[in-house]
Structure formats: structure tokens, C-alpha cells
A and B are shown apart, each in its own frame.
Chain A
């Protein structure tokens, strides 16, 4: 059973640029969620995808967008990067509402630095 893999592990971007982060979900999981973890904080929910559609969103502006593909992998896109977007971005996969008690399997994250 493969876990959640994220790429790249580290990334440095300039303010105003766009970035795409990638995530492969754990085998058998159909739901993918993205979280932003600022330094010294707990992760904050960005959004969730199920069957290639967004089915939940946190308090993030529209310049944060995503995709889920038929194989359940996912992308997080951030446009017009700001310095405050510097954070660890975590991807998590799960069985969604079918098994809410099951919890989430997390990847090791992408460390994004905006300069």
C-alpha cells in the first residue's frame, strides 16, 4: 500500500508568480484535501476534492485553486503569490464521508518560500 506522495519537497518562488504543487493519494483513497501550515501553527484547511469536484473550502481566496484527476491525484495552484503564502503545504487523502472515523493519511508536504 503506497502512502501519500507530494512534489516538490521544497520550492522558492518570487512574489507575484504562480505555483503548482502535486499530490498522489494513497491507494484506494478517493478524497484529497489540502492544508496550509504556517511556521509554528497548526494546519489550516484549504479545500477538499471528491470525484474531481471541490466539495469543501476553507477561508482562502480564489487565487488558491485545485484539481483532482480520475486517478485521485491532485494539484494545488496558487496565483499571484504573496509573502504570507510561505508555508508548508500538506496533502491528505481519505475515504471521505464513507469512513469519517478513518481519518486522513498525510504526505510530507511541500515547503514553499515566497521571496
Chain B
């Protein structure tokens, strides 16, 4: 069975600094997709970034980038130039066919 593990329940960072959130997963599949979602207090899950497993190049979206290590089954999220609006729960998620499997989340607090 596929599993997703986020080992950091809480993280904090000062505004304008860089922070990295960790995620590992377990699967026997070769073709799959990985996502990072942000869930602010408004509760809506917002897609931050996605990575297709067959692509070796790490995905980037403005201040957000990932370090995808397929052999190690690791998928970390780096947030550069952190902003107060980045404060939220962050969930790592794995998809192979019809469903997303989520980790337990990391609560990120950005301080002024």
C-alpha cells in the first residue's frame, strides 16, 4: 500500500527566509504524480506545485520548488523568500490512478 510521511508536524520561519518541508512516500509503482497542497484557515486545499515521476527535472513555481529524489522516494518543498501569507498547513500528496494519498501535514508559521 502506498503511504506518505511528513515527519515535521510544525515548522517556523522568519519572513524573507527560506524553509524546507520534508516528505517521503512508499510505492511500488513507477509512474505516479506528487503534489504539495496548502491549506490555510479558510480550509480550501490549494495546489502549490506538482511533479511527474517520469520527469527528472525538479518542478518550480515562483518561490516554490521541490527536491524530487525518486530512488530515495523523497519529495521536499522549498519555500524561498517566505511571506506572512505562506502561513498554513502544507500537505504532501501522492497520486497513481484515481485518488490522492495525503500525509499528515506540516503546520508552517511565518513570523515577521
Contacts and interface: CB of A to CB of B under 8 A. Distances in A.
A103 B50 contact: yes
Given A100-B95, A101-B33, A101-B52, A45 B101 contact: yes
Given A41-B104, A101-B50, A107 B99 contact: no
B105 to A, nearest CB: 5
Instruction: Tell me the dominant secondary structure on chain B's binding face.
Output: strand
A56 B96 CA distance: 12
B68 interface: no
A45 B99 contact: yes
A103 B35 contact: yes
A10 to B, nearest CB: 11
A96 B99 CA distance: 9
Interface residues of B, number: 24
Contacts of B33: 100-101, 103
Given A43-B45, A108-B43, A56 B104 contact: no
A112 B52 CA distance: 34
B97 A97 contact: yes
B91 A42 contact: yes
A104 B102 CA distance: 13
A20 to B, nearest CB: 20
A92 B45 CA distance: 9
Interface in B24-64: 33, 35, 37, 42-47, 50, 52
A96 B104 CA distance: 24
Nearest to A110: B43
Given A42-B104, A101-B33, A101-B52, A90 B99 contact: no
Nearest to A4: B44
A90 B91 contact: no
A28 B91 CA distance: 25
Contacts of A92: 45, 100
Interface in B83-104: 91, 93, 95, 97-104
Interface of A: 33, 35, 40-45, 48, 55-56, 58, 88, 90, 92, 96-97, 100-101, 103-109, 111
